[in-house]
Structure 1
Amino acid sequence: MANLLRRALRPAPAAVEQRFGWDDYANLLGAFGFGGHSYGLGLTQTLPGQSEEKLEANFPALVQGALKRNGVIFACILTRMLVFSEARFQFRRLQNGRPGDLFGTKDLQLLERPWRGGTTGDLLTRMLLDADLAGQAYLTKQGVGSRRRVRRLRPDWVTIILGSENEPELGADALDADLLGYIYQPGGPTSTAKPVLLMPEEVAHFAPIPDPVASYRGMSWLQPIIPELQSDSAATTHKLKFFENGATPNMVVSIDPSVSVEAFKRFKEVMETEHRGLANAYKTLYLGGGADAKVVGSDLRQLDFKLTQGAGETRIAAAAGVPPVIVGLSEGLQSATYSNYGQARRRLADGTMRPLWRNAAGSLATLVPPPEGAELWYDDRDIPFLREDRKDAAEIQGTQATTIRQLVDAGFTPDSAIRAVESEDWALLAHTGLFSVQLRPPNPQQEQQPTKSDPIAPEDVPNPPDEGTGDPATGE
Structure 2
Amino acid sequence: MFGFGKKDGGPAEAKASATGRVVAWGTAGRSVWSPRDTGTLVRSGFSGNPVGFRAVKLIAEAAAAVPLVCGDGRARFDVHPVLDLIGRPNGAQGRAEWFEALFGQLLLSGDAYVEAVGNGGLPAELHVLRSDRMSVVPGTDGWPVAYDYAVGGRTHRFKVADLSPVCHVRSFHPQDDHYGLSPMQAAASAVDVHNAASRWSKGLLDNAARPSGAIVHQGEAELSPDQFDRLSMELEANHQGARNAGRPMLLEGGLDWKPMGFSPSDMEFQKTKEAAAREIATAFGVPPMMLGIPGDATYANYVEANRAFYRLTVLPLVGKVVEALSHWLGLHAGETLRIEADRDRVPALQAERDAEWGRIAKADFLTPDEKRRMLGLPPLEGA
TM-score range, shorter chain: 0.7 to 0.9
* Residue aligning to 1:419: 369
Tell me, in whole angstroms, the C-alpha distance in 1 between the residues paired with 2:237 and 2:155: 57
Task: Report whether the alignment pairs 1:155 with 2:131.
Answer: yes
* Residue aligning to 1:69: 48
Tell me, in whole angstroms, the C-alpha distance in 2 between the residues paired with 1:181 and 1:147: 19
Tell me, in whole angstroms, the C-alpha distance in 1 between the residues paired with 2:264 and 2:96: 42
- Letter matched to residue 342 of structure 1: V
**Secondary structure of 1:365's partner?**
helix
* Residue aligning to 1:325: 289
Q: CA deviation at 1:316?
A: 0.7
Q: CA deviation at 1:103?
A: 5.3
Q: Which has the larger radius of gyration?
A: 1
Contact 1:160–1:182 (8 Å) recurs in 2: yes
TM-score by length of 1: 0.65
Q: CA deviation at 1:79?
A: 1.1
- Please, which of 396, 401, 405 is the counterpart of residue 361 of structure 2? 401
Q: CA deviation at 1:131?
A: 1.3
Q: CA deviation at 1:59?
A: 2.5
- Deviations along 1:256-305, whole A, 9 cap, x unmatched? 55221112222222223332222332344343233243344726995133
Q: CA deviation at 1:91?
A: 2.2
Task: Report whether the alignment pairs 1:89 with 2:68.
Answer: yes
Task: Report whether the alignment pairs 1:229 with 2:210.
Answer: no
**Secondary structure of 2:70's partner?**
strand
Tell me, in whole angstroms, the C-alpha distance in 2 between the residues paired with 1:80 and 1:261: 59
Tell me, in whole angstroms, the C-alpha distance in 2 between the residues paired with 1:299 and 1:246: 17
Task: Report whether the alignment pairs 1:198 with 2:162.
Answer: no
- Letter matched to residue 154 of structure 1: R
- Letter matched to residue 244 of structure 1: D
What are the equivalent positions in structure 2 for 1:318-467 lying under 5 Å apart? 318-332=282-296, 335=297, 340-369=301-330, 374-384=337-347, 386=348, 389-403=349-363, 406=364, 417-424=367-374
Tell me, in whole angstroms, the C-alpha distance in 1 between the residues paired with 2:246 and 2:151: 56
**Secondary structure of 1:121's partner?**
helix
* Residue aligning to 1:252: 214
**Secondary structure of 2:147's partner?**
strand
* Residue aligning to 1:109: 84
**Secondary structure of 2:362's partner?**
helix
Contact 1:158–1:182 (8 Å) recurs in 2: yes
What are the equivalent positions in structure 2 for 1:288-327 lying under 5 Å apart? 288-296=252-260, 298=262, 303-327=267-291
* Residue aligning to 1:180: 145
Q: CA deviation at 1:239?
A: 0.6
- Please, which of 240, 250, 270 is the counterpart of residue 202 of structure 2? 240
Give the direction of change, closer, same or farther, for the CA distance of 1:286–1:65 in structure 2 (3 Å limit). Answer: same
- Deviations along 1:153-193, whole A, 9 cap, x unmatched? 2212211122245xxxxxxxxxxx32323222233xxx1x2
Task: Report whether the alignment pairs 1:127 with 2:102.
Answer: yes
- Deviations along 1:203-246, whole A, 9 cap, x unmatched? 11121x22222113111211122221111111101111101111
- Letter matched to residue 87 of structure 2: E
Tell me, in whole angstroms, the C-alpha distance in 1 between the residues paired with 2:334 and 2:123: 21
Tell me, in whole angstroms, the C-alpha distance in 2 between the residues paired with 1:352 and 1:14: 45
Q: CA deviation at 1:78?
A: 1.4
- Please, which of 236, 260, 264 is the counterpart of residue 228 of structure 2? 264
Q: Unpaired segments of 5 or more residues in structure 2?
A: 1-7, 14-29
**Secondary structure of 1:67's partner?**
helix
**Secondary structure of 2:258's partner?**
strand
Q: CA deviation at 1:67?
A: 1.4
Give the direction of change, closer, same or farther, for the CA distance of 1:320–1:83 in structure 2 (3 Å limit). Answer: same
Give the direction of change, closer, same or farther, for the CA distance of 1:398–1:227 in structure 2 (3 Å limit). Answer: closer
Task: Report whether the alignment pairs 1:80 with 2:40.
Answer: no
Q: CA deviation at 1:66?
A: 2.1
Tell me, in whole angstroms, the C-alpha distance in 1 between the residues paired with 2:240 and 2:126: 55
- Letter matched to residue 253 of structure 1: I
**Secondary structure of 2:319's partner?**
helix
* Residue aligning to 1:220: 182
Give the direction of change, closer, same or farther, for the CA distance of 1:313–1:78 in structure 2 (3 Å limit). Answer: same
Contact 1:92–1:101 (8 Å) recurs in 2: yes
Give the direction of change, closer, same or farther, for the CA distance of 1:102–1:109 in structure 2 (3 Å limit). Answer: closer
TM-score by length of 2: 0.80
Question: How many residues are paired up?
Answer: 348
- Please, which of 189, 199, 210 is the counterpart of residue 172 of structure 2? 210
**Secondary structure of 2:338's partner?**
strand
Q: CA deviation at 1:371?
A: 7.4
**Secondary structure of 2:210's partner?**
coil
- Please, which of 237, 246, 254 is the counterpart of residue 282 of structure 1? 246
- Letter matched to residue 235 of structure 2: M
- Letter matched to residue 377 of structure 1: E
- Letter matched to residue 89 of structure 1: L
Q: CA deviation at 1:137?
A: 1.0
